[in-house]
């Protein structure tokens, strides 16, 4: 299984052997431990739960400490990854590190985008500004949001509201560099979220790879 819980370090650029400069995002992959294995017979689906970032036991609640006792780790962050099937290698207590990925692997990353607060329609939905000449007084207003019938606003209407701070997944990124000693993984392109934000990285599915082609 190729999946890890990482934290975003920042962006930089690399130069390939043919001289092409490409932007990459550095991800810090702290050593992770499998804390639970879910099967179809017991849970109704197959998945693997991973924990990372060791903390002292007194910082965990009793329920969390009891749940992690079998894995022998006091993980601060726990996330779950769906897997097609459970193999013999996937067992509670198994350790995972950055070297599970190799250069050239196609991956999908998931993070929480930066929150922009309450934003208007111009910033949030790229609406055009109204004219400022010839008597125009509607500069940044959204304009009409409904009609006389059926006397209500349809759900999903583009209006002002909370912007950002949403879960965003980016598929078909490529692993450009892996440093097992420093636990660093570099992937091409941008990754959602701020620095030090939690980013989930996993191997791209077959459907995602076919869609990229």
pLDDT in tens, 162-213: 999 999 999 999 999 999 899 999 999 999 999 999 999 999 876 666 666 5
Same domain, 99 and 58: yes
Q: What CATH number is given to the structural domain containing 61?
A: 2.40.30.10
Token readout for 48 is: 């693997």
pLDDT of residue 206: 61
Give bridge partners of residue 162 from the DSSP assignment.
118
> Which of the pair, 65 or 158, is modelled with greater confidence?
158
pLDDT of residue 101: 92
pLDDT of residue 207: 60
Same domain, 8 and 108: yes
List the one residue out of 78, 45, 43 whose CA is nearest residue 60: 78
Same domain, 157 and 130: yes
List the one residue out of 70, 63, 73, 1 whose CA is nearest residue 31: 73
Residue for token pair 């894995």: 71
Same domain, 100 and 13: yes
Same domain, 97 and 123: no
Give bridge partners of residue 199 from the DSSP assignment.
6, 111
Count of structural domains within the chain: 2
Range of the domain at 149: 119-163
Torsion-angle region of 189 (φ positive above 0: left; ψ -120 to 50: alpha; else: beta): left
Same domain, 157 and 172: no
Number of helices (H), then strands (E), in the chain = 4, 12
Same domain, 17 and 75: yes
List the one residue out of 173, 200, 196 whose CA is nearest residue 5: 200
Domain edge (last residue) among 148, 163, 178 = 163
Percent of the chain with pLDDT over 90: 56
Put simply, whether the predicted model's pTM sits higher than 0.75 gets the answer yes
> Which of the pair, 26 or 63, is modelled with greater confidence?
26
Same domain, 15 and 36: yes
List the one residue out of 201, 210, 203, 204 whose CA is nearest residue 8: 201
Residue for token pair 């922009």: 116
Average pLDDT, the chain: 89
Same domain, 20 and 70: yes
Domain edge (last residue) among 163, 179, 199 = 163
Same domain, 85 and 103: yes
pLDDT of residue 162: 96
Same domain, 139 and 109: no
Same domain, 132 and 174: no
């Amino acid at each position: 299984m190729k999946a890890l819980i990482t934290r975003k370090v920042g962006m930089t650029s690399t130069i390939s052997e043919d001289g092409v400069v490409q932007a990459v995002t550095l991800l810090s992959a702290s050593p992770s431990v499998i804390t639970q294995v879910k099967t179809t017979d017991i849970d109704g689906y197959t998945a693997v739960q991973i924990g990372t970032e060791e903390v002292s036991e007194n910082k965990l609640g009793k329920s969390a400490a009891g749940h992690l006792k079998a894995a022998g780790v006091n993980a601060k962050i726990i996330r779950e990854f769906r897997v097609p099937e459970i193999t013999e290698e996937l067992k509670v207590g198994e350790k995972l590190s950055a070297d599970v990925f190799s250069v050239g692997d196609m991956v999908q990353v998931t993070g929480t985008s930066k929150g922009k607060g309450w934003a208007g329609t111009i910033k949030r939905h790229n609406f055009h500004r109204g004219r400022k000449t010839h008597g125009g007084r509607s500069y940044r207003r959204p304009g009409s949001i409904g009609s006389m019938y059926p006397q209500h606003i349809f759900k999903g209407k583009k209006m002002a509201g909370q912007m950002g701070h949403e879960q965003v997944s980016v598929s078909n990124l490529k692993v450009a560099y892996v440093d097992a000693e420093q636990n660093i993984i570099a992937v091409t392109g941008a990754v959602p979220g701020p620095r030090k934000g939690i980013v989930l990285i996993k191997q791209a599915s077959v459907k995602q790879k076919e869609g990229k082609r």
